[in-house]
Amino acid sequence: MLCSCSMEGMQSLKIATWNVNSVRHRIHLVTRFLRDEQPDVLCLQETKVMDELFPKLPFHKLGYTHQAIHGQKAYHGVAVLSKIPFRETGVQDFCREGHARHMGVTLEGGVELHNFYVPAGGDIPDPKANPKFAHKLHFLEGMEKFFSKRSARKSNPVLLMGDLNVAPQEHDVWSHKQLLNIVSHTPVETRLLGEVQAAFDWTDSTRHFIPPDQKIYSWWSYRASDWEASDRGRRLDHVWTSPGLKGALKSQRIVKKMRGWQKASDHVPVIVELDV
């Protein structure tokens, strides 16, 4: 059994994604979130820890006994924590720099998850002047190629989620006009992310529930003296569903209140619930 039953013949699956910005530094926030929300699966990004030092035990005690970890010292890193057993786990190398930025798992029951931490890209939106931006574009191109080659499998139940570091739509940022030349919202990034989405006919869960003319964010800079008052956010964190999950989405939430927690990450979790 995947998880608790909802409708007859279906089971409810609750999945969250969160760029935690150091899992060891924010271990108490992660365990608090898990106790409060009780997701079946949590995908973490920017864990910033080698696999052998990942804090497995606190999550194990909360029932997240299935853990797929792909980390490195001090930077990057992704992990999937699950109450549901894994049928399969694996890492794809989208990253020419060798960073730990992807973890894929297939849950018992057949749902496939891809947890991504796309490179931020630095500050200068010019791949010739900024190697970090060139790396980001290369990574997004790699994602598009990977899912294009697998497009015959899009009728399967598949989710793509994580910190994609791109705010693709006009109202995914506080000011479309002022951020058009700011990394994360430039036309080349939004175009490439759109190609990734088209490659597998993904459904953007947030915009499935929230109209595109409404502003919604999942990230607020540490640089703001009062992040909540200024509310100059960006929607960088995403959960996408394949055509194989058409009609499965029940709800979606961005947990904005967590940006106000003490020692918070600059990102907040995105939660989806599905009937599968």
Q: What is the pLDDT of residue 98?
A: 87
Q: How far apart are CA 139 and CA 145, in angstroms?
A: 10
pLDDT tens profile 25-84: 999 999 999 999 999 999 999 999 999 999 999 999 999 999 999 999 999 999 999 999
Both structure tokens of 258: 């967590």
Buried/exposed code over 243-266 (b: 16+ C-beta within 10 A; e: otherwise): ebbeebbbebebbbebbeeeebbb
- Total-model pTM: 0.95
Q: What is the pLDDT of residue 9?
A: 58
257: helix, strand or coil? helix
Q: What is the pLDDT of residue 166?
A: 98
Point out the residues of the chain with pLDDT beneath 70: 1-9
DSSP H or E run through 148: helix 131-149
Annotate 174-189 with DSSP letters as a single string. Answer: S-HHHHTTSTTS-HHH
Q: What is the pLDDT of residue 97?
A: 85
What pairing do the DSSP bridges indicate for beta strands 219-220 and 249-254?
unpaired
- Among 78, 5, 72, 14, CA closest to 253: 14
Q: How far apart are CA 83 and CA 64, in angstroms?
A: 5
Q: How far apart are CA 250 and CA 47, in angstroms?
A: 29
- Among 272, 8, 42, CA closest to 157: 272
For the segment(s) 12-269, the CATH number from 3.60.10.10, 3.30.70.60, 3.30.420.240, 3.40.50.300 is 3.60.10.10
- Among 115, 83, 68, 88, CA closest to 1: 83
pLDDT tens profile 12-42: 999 999 999 999 999 999 999 999 999 999 9
Q: What are the residue ranges of helices labelled H in 15-98? A: 27-37, 56-61
